Amino acid sequence: MKSVAFHNLGCKVNGYEMDFMQQTLEERGYKIVSFEERADIYIINTCTVTNIADRKSRQMLHRAKKLNPDAVVVAVGCYVQVGNEDTLRDMSIDLAVGNNRKKDLVFILEEYLKEREIKGAFSDKTLYGKTIIDIGNTSEYEAMELRHTAGHTRAFIKVQDGCNQFCSYCIIPYARGRIRSREIEDVVTEVKTLAGNGYHEVVLTGIHLSSYGLSGGNDFSQSRLLALIKAVSQVSGIERIRLGSLEPRIITEQFVRELAECSKLCPHFHLSLQSGCDSVLKRMNRKYTAGEYYEKVCMLRNFYENPAITTDVIVGFPGESEQEFCETADFLKKTGFYEMHIFKYSRRKGTPAAEMKEQIPEDVKGERSARLMELEAFMSYKYRESYLHKEMEVLFEEKKTINGKSYQIGHTREYIKAACETGENLSGQIFNGVSERFLQPDILLFQEQMH
């Protein structure tokens, strides 16, 4: 029995795909071991969203080969798809598998092992060109179905792949290809299986979730995504539904009104922003203004009481002046997010932004990032504080020891982390209570840091 170690880099879609690859190998009889152990096969599910992601992918591939020089090291996914010339030159990589071939990994791997056994040494990393396809010219949705995931109570479910937006800083349309969607019936079948295995919460995710149900173009299909959400909400055993990142332009009054009628949908919305300055948004090719974005946030708040709004922000985009940065900071304060993921712009070869003049120095990016991270910590604290002394519904997920005491940890519908002091194992169960019972570790930790 050969042993296999996995390491995943990147987004939730990558995480879903890695869980599927691991599931297929387990069912084939392979022994799954920790990545730090000596394994016969190492599989690294790579990311290429930034130059840093590329570097991390290479580092993990090289680490695998050092752990066992005789092992088969397999590079899978976006880094392979976009930079296959580098992949083919890298002596740490034995087998390279691009996107839309992950579902076939077990068969590809076994064909490779057979070739190597026959020939003693086999240097063709693509099995004669079969493991990397022209991702930009495929309309096939890569069919996968999970029965369990790495988590114990929450399951991420991939329902869409590809992106047609072509933001000026982003390589993903070239790594993932054009938009493709999974049939609603297939999603429901998977959700039923997961619910039967004890999962109470599902997260619908994709590379560009707002394009779910489309076959081309740049418009959005609220009706198809709504149909999917409603179908999933009918599955017995599923108590909560969350959505992955949404394009702001999908938000309309009719769309939000229908979302609000779905009682299982959590009031937690991630609307990608990237900048609060119109001139920067235009250079990013984001196709909306800060004012339009703010209108979408107001729509959500009109239909939901204090929903959790989270976002992504890039600092130091080419040409970003101090005034433009301050416009973004002011916009963030005005909007009042629960959480913000702050990223320093990373120059990504192959994108229009990489060729733009006025690249921002790293020290300026770092200083701006620090300012926004301080703002993020304050706004997140204020949002979580607003729920103190209110009744909260918590789905418990794991047991932890904090300051010598035993707690059960979980999340509210708004995705606020909560803890209940108890020796019981409540994982997978949903409880209601007020903050005197359900502590909020994030708030307590923030208060400790302030003192």
**Which residue has tokens 């973004």?**
328
448 pLDDT band (50/70/90 cuts)? very low
CA distance 387 to 416: 9
At a CB cut-off of 8 Å and minimum separation 6, what does 241 contact?
A: 201, 202, 203, 204, 229, 232, 233, 262, 264, 265, 266
Last residue of a domain, one of 365, 385, 405: 385
**Residue that has been written with the tokens 């920790």 in this structure:** 34
Say yes or no: 342 and 247 in one domain.
Answer: yes
Is it the case that residue 192 has pLDDT exceeding 60?
yes
**What is residue 407's three-state secondary structure?**
strand
> Once rounded to an integer, what is the mean pLDDT over residues 403-411?
87
Domain identity same for 98 and 183: no
* Whether residue 224 is found in the same domain as residue 179: yes
pLDDT of residue 444: 55
Measure the CA angle with vertex 200, ends 199 and 206; round to 5°. 80
Residues 197 and 129 in one domain: no
Residue with tokens 């903050």: 435
Note the pLDDT of residue 449: 41
Output the pLDDT for position 215. 67
Per-residue pLDDT tens digits for 272-297: 999 999 999 999 999 999 999 999 99
Beta-carbon contacts of residue 18 (< 8 Å; ≥ 6 apart): 6, 8, 45
CB 388 within 8 A of CB 440: yes
For 194-246, write each residue's pLDDT tens digit: 999 999 999 999 999 999 998 655 556 678 999 999 999 999 999 999 999 99
Write down which residue in 329, 354, 385 finishes a domain.
Answer: 385
**Same domain for 154 and 295?**
yes
Listed residues 81, 103, 133: the one ending a domain: 133
Together in a domain, 171 and 250: yes
**Low-confidence winner among 76-80, 100-104, 148-152 (lowest mean pLDDT):** 148-152
413-435: burial string, b at 16+ Cβ within 10 Å, e else: bbebbbbbeeeeebbbebbeeeb
Within 8 A by CB and 6+ apart from 127, the residues are 95, 108, 111, 112, 115
Q: In what order do the strands lie in the sheet with 438-439?
A: 430-433, 392-402, 405-412, 417-421, 438-439
Cα 251 to Cα 271: distance, rounded to the nearest angstrom: 9
Say if residue 45 is in the same domain as residue 106: yes
In 3D, which of 44, 81, 46, 79 has the Cα closest to residue 65?
Answer: 44
CA–CA distance from 293 to each of 84, 260, 271, 336, 378 (Å)?
Answer: 37, 19, 9, 13, 22
Residues 263 and 114 in one domain: no
Q: How many domains does the chain have?
A: 3
Q: What is the DSSP letter of 30?
A: P
Q: Provide, rounded to the nearest whole percent, the portion of the chain with pLDDT above 90.
A: 76
- Residues in Cβ contact with 167 at an 8 Å cutoff, skipping those fewer than 6 apart: 274, 284, 285, 286
Whether residue 352 is found in the same domain as residue 405: no
Provide the CATH number for the domain around residue 87: 3.40.50.12160
Length of the chain: 451
Whether residue 443 is predicted with pLDDT greater than 60 in this model: the reply is no
pLDDT value of residue 446: 46
Identify the CATH number of the domain in which residue 185 sits: 3.80.30.20
> Can you give the pTM of this predicted structure?
0.92
Show Cβ contacts of residue 408 under 8 Å, excluding neighbours closer than 6 positions: 396, 398, 399, 400, 419, 420, 422, 424, 425, 426, 427
Same-domain check for residues 209 and 346: yes
Residue 446's domain comprises 392-450
Residue 291 sits in the same domain as residue 362: yes
Please indicate, yes or no, whether residues 14 and 70 belong to a single structural domain of this protein: yes
How far is 140 from 179, CA to CA, in rounded Å? 10
Closest CA to 205 of 9, 343, 16, 417: 16
